Structure 1
Amino acid sequence: MTDPVSAPKVRLSDIAAATGYSLATVSKVLNGRTDVASSTRREIEQALRASGYTAHSRAPRAQRMIEVVFQDFETLWALEVLRGVLRETKAHDVSVITTESGDRQHPDASWVDGVLRRRPIGVILIFSNLTDEEKAKLDRNTIPYVVFDPSGQPSVDDMSVQADNWTGGVIATRHLLELGHRRIGIITGPEEMMCSRARLDGYSAALAEQGLPLDPALVTEGDFTTDGGYAQAMELLAQPDRPTAIFAGSDLQAMGVYEAARQNGLRIPEDLSVVGFDDVQTAAFLGPALTTVRQPLQDMASAAAGMLIDTVDGRDPQRHVILPTTLVVRNSTQRLP
């Protein structure tokens, strides 16, 4: 029996000779470069796996660093997430960098190559789901990742952190129903995002508990921004039988609802009750203070960073974390006269 310790190590030149491709092409595939044909990439990757090749020659990472990939970093929501990441990494002497890339569903095509150059110990992806090819690149380069608030159903193989969005939708709508509201509008997030669908499903379930049908005229699709919340609220409030309450899918959208109400001469909460979602820091300082569903963003972000640190340090992390949502009642809702 061959001693695995004394067995000759497989070299990249061996893979090149076995596949008939140049050493440069094999190296490009190993390092996740995109300028290689898909068929070539598949053949070389198969040879690498079959040979058991490991890249022992890579230089060690000089610094422990986590990369957080945002769609943009212009919102209070993103700042809450970053605060949570920093809270966890500070205790482990890990640095943090942020990247703005792509959209809420997926990073742009250049993102993975940038990560491979920067060599973080792990990546937190905000709202993103990766392709199989991108996952393979990160896996080959031993860069673990966590999907934060995934836009779709997370893979069983991926680490993910999210809030209980369905329950959040239920408790927000129940609160308005208990105050006597029956014409309750909702401004969702983008339809393709799982958190948006879950909140809408929770809204529908709470209505069904009271025997109320879902009225399509009261359901509008926003984009989680203040401008989107304003535009959708203006549509809802223009209806002849306007809603007496609006459940905004985010606090930023709720801010847009406040402005739409002002322009329509409506007082909050006397003429229109409003519930948000997230509980960003400014929600308590709106006039009136916003009733909202608290999504524990900082705790979620800390959990995501902890999962990466546990993975790198050889501990077995939780792979899928769902944190509870709670209702925070303030001054933007009141009983319907």
Structure 2
Amino acid sequence: MSTNRKPKISEIAELANVSPSTVSKVINGRAGISEQTRSQVEEALAKLGYSKPLVSTKVSQTIEIITEYIENNGTIELIRHAAIWGKRHQLGITVNQKDPDESLGDCLRQIINRNPSGVIIQQFSKLSEDDQALLDSRDIPWVIIDPVDVPDDNVNSVSVDNWTGGYQATQYLVQQGHTRIGVISGLKQTQSAIARFSGYLAALRQAGIEYDSSITRESDYRSESGYQAACSLLDMPNPPTAIFACNDLTAVNVYKAANERGLELPRQLSVVGFDDVYPAAYLSPPLTTVEQPFGAIANAAVQMIMNIRAHKTVERHITLPTHLIVRDSVTAPLEHHDAGSANA
């Protein structure tokens, strides 16, 4: 049958001898249809000249990662480890960097047409009900890494213990004798940034050090804002003797700003980062930082997706520990060195 008129769902259903809802499921790639029924509907579609491409129902052996930007702030490590763990399950990894002017829904629509085995979403706030419905309409398991907001009960998430990491970083600086400890946090509306900053405050309170808002700066975990924040702190008349940079990319830019001002690290400025990603161990001096277990994060996310696919019970919210990695970027503040020399 050849016609310019688009056939109605009811006409297709009558020809295929199935219900209209079954036709809709076939057209939209929904599960729960036998192969025989699907074939009947597809034959009817062909006879009636239905030209809309059918959504694939075959599950792709891939996991799709969605991120807002790819930079050496942990995203690259997450992708690298996801590829390793995916390969163990014979799954490939596809990376999607969402355009700034692109909605998450538009990005998801492209992904669900590929019908992946699962989706890992990094650095996003709560998914809207429409976004969740898009993924759930194809029964695609999805996991949020380091959610911006506290996740709802029906959301699968993998996070790290950001509060303890922030506390450990600051406590270590306090133990070395620092009392004027600056901080460059992430965006304060994000859960990870709030938790790291709260850990910083708790370590100060425990040590009896009054919080000084003048040596607090906020960035977005990216290079330019981290560099500007570092410059702002180091150009103060009375700059901090130590800086807790809430991610390693910011710490690299603290090094850059300090070197431009002729400061010797760590003698004149101590620095602690957060992430333990390249090039932390290769900086001069090597960076003391809080390690995020990216291998364990990726493994937990991939395993969660596989367990959901296998209809196994899963723990919906996983929080993994962080660890302080001590290197050479921290020492006692300069006045302590000078006091020691005077007493010698």
TM-score exceeds 0.5? yes
Between the aligned partners of 2:301 and 2:108, the Cα distance in structure 1 is 19
Cα shift readout 1:70-119 (whole Å, capped 9, x = no counterpart): 1122326222101221221111111111101146xx95341121112111
In the alignment, which residue of structure 2 is the partner of 1:180? 177
Q: Secondary structure at the match of 2:271?
A: strand
Q: Structure 2, unaligned stretches of length 5 or more?
A: 1-8, 14-19, 39-54, 337-344
- What letter matches 1:281 in structure 2? Y
Query: CA contact under 8 A between 1:245 and 1:274: conserved in structure 2?
Result: yes
Cα offset for 1:139? 1.0
Q: Is the partner of 1:121 in helix, strand or coil? A: strand
Matches within 5 A, 1:1-337: 13=10, 27=24, 31=28, 54=32, 57=38, 60-61=57-58, 63-75=60-72, 77-102=74-99, 108-128=104-124, 129-336=126-333, 337=336
Separation (CA, whole Å) in 1 of partners of 2:204 and 2:272: 16
Q: Is the alpha carbon distance of 1:59 and 1:117 closer, same or farther for their aligned partners in structure 2, counting shifts above 3 Å?
A: closer
Return the alpha-carbon distance in structure 1 between the equivalents of residues 236 and 246 of structure 2.
Answer: 20
Task: Kindly state the Cα deviation for residue 190 of structure 1 after the two structures are TM-superposed.
Answer: 1.1
SS in 1 for 2:272: strand
After superposition, the Cα gap between the structure-2 partners of 1:333 and 1:107, relative to the gap in structure 1 and judged at 3 Å, is farther
Deviations 1:117-169 (A, max 9, x none): 11111100001231111111211210110000101111111110011000000
Q: How big is each residue's C-alpha offset from its partner over 1:231-257, in whole Å with a ceiling of 9 and x where there is no partner?
A: 101111111111000000100000000
The question of whether the paired residues in 1 share the 8 Å contact of 2:290 and 2:323 is answered with: yes
Deviations 1:3-47 (A, max 9, x none): xxxxxxxxx749x9xxxxxx79x959x849xxxxxxxxxxxxxxx
Quote the Cα distance in structure 2 between the aligned partners of 1:165 and 1:260. Answer: 26
1:250-282 C-alpha deviation (Å, 9 max, x unpaired): 000000000110111111100000000000031
CA contact 2:73–2:222 (8 Å) conserved in 1: no
- In the alignment of these two chains, the number of paired residues is 298
* CA distance 1:187–1:282, change in 2 (3 Å): same
CA contact (8 A) 1:31 1:116 kept: no
Instruction: Write the distance in 1 (CA, Å) between the matches of 2:153 and 2:295.
Output: 24
Larger displacement relative to structure 2 (216-225 or 61-70)? 61-70
> Which amino acid is the alignment partner of residue 280 of structure 1?
V
**Is the CA contact 1:228–1:256 (under 8 Å) kept in the aligned structure 2?**
no
Q: TM-score, normalised by structure 1?
A: 0.82
Q: Distance in 1 between matches of 2:24 and 2:167?
A: 52
The offset of 1:299, in angstroms, is 1.3
SS of the equivalent of 2:300 reads helix
Contact 2:273 2:290 in 1 (8 A): yes
CA distance in 1, matches of 2:28, 2:192: 34
Residue identity in the other structure for 1:126: Q
Aligned-residue RMSD, C-alpha: 2.6
5+ residue gaps, structure 1, are 1-11, 17-22, 33-47
SS of residue paired to 1:64? strand
3-state secondary structure, aligned to 1:80 = helix
CA distance in structure 2 between the partners assigned to 1:146 and 1:185 by the alignment: 34
Percent identity over the alignment is 38
With the length of structure 2 as denominator, give the TM-score of the two structures: 0.80
CA-CA distance at 1:54 after TM superposition = 5.0
